[in-house]
């Protein structure tokens, strides 16, 4: 079981036809897109989305993605994608869990790691900028 986060966000996705392969199973690369959609919902909940990150002067490239497939999603299946914030002080680490919306069956799990890069200098920071840490602390209240 992956570590739960201090903040979570969930989205529901109805698997579209254009995400499946010839076997009617979601192509493996689309799971990263589903993670991104849930991550955006989580960042909105924190109150510090990608637009606000850029305005603050920071980019947040992903430096690591982990995926574990247990069962493939299929065309027209309703899935729930949950994003859990597990680290934010030195890097942004988010764990994900994809489940079947009807049965709750676990289908895919994973994680992403992002680091702050100062846009002006293109320097990677060794700690998260205060603006993100403050946003997380406000969201935790």
| 65: containing domain | 7-140
pTM of the model: 0.94
Element of type H or E holding 85: strand 78-87
pLDDT interval class at 140 (50, 70, 90):
very high
**Closest to 73 in 3D by CA, of 8, 9, 29, 10:** 29
CB neighbours of residue 113 within 10 Å? 16
Tens-place pLDDT, residues 6-28: 999 999 999 999 999 999 999 99
> Residue 35 falls within a domain, yes or no?
yes
Residue 103 domain flag: yes
- The reply to whether 1 falls in a domain is no
Q: Is residue 2 one of the residues assigned to a domain?
A: no
First-to-last CA distance in the chain? 26
Per-residue pLDDT reduced to its tens digit, 89-131: 999 999 999 999 999 999 999 999 999 999 999 999 999 999 9
Considering its fold, how many domains does the chain have in total? 1
């Amino acid at each position: 079981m992956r570590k739960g986060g201090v903040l979570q966000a969930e989205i529901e996705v109805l698997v579209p036809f254009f995400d499946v392969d010839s076997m009617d199973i979601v192509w493996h690369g689309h799971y990263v897109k589903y993670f991104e959609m849930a991550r955006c919902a989580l960042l909105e909940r924190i109150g510090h989305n990608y637009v606000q990150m850029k305005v603050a002067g920071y980019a947040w490239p992903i430096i690591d993605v982990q995926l574990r497939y247990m069962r493939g999603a299929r065309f027209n299946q309703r899935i729930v994608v949950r994003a859990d914030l597990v680290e934010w002080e030195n890097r942004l680490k988010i764990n994900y869990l994809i489940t079947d919306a009807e049965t709750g069956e676990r289908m895919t799990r994973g994680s992403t790691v992002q680091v702050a890069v100062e846009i002006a200098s293109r320097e990677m920071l060794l700690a998260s900028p205060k603006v993100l840490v403050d946003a997380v602390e406000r969201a935790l209240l």
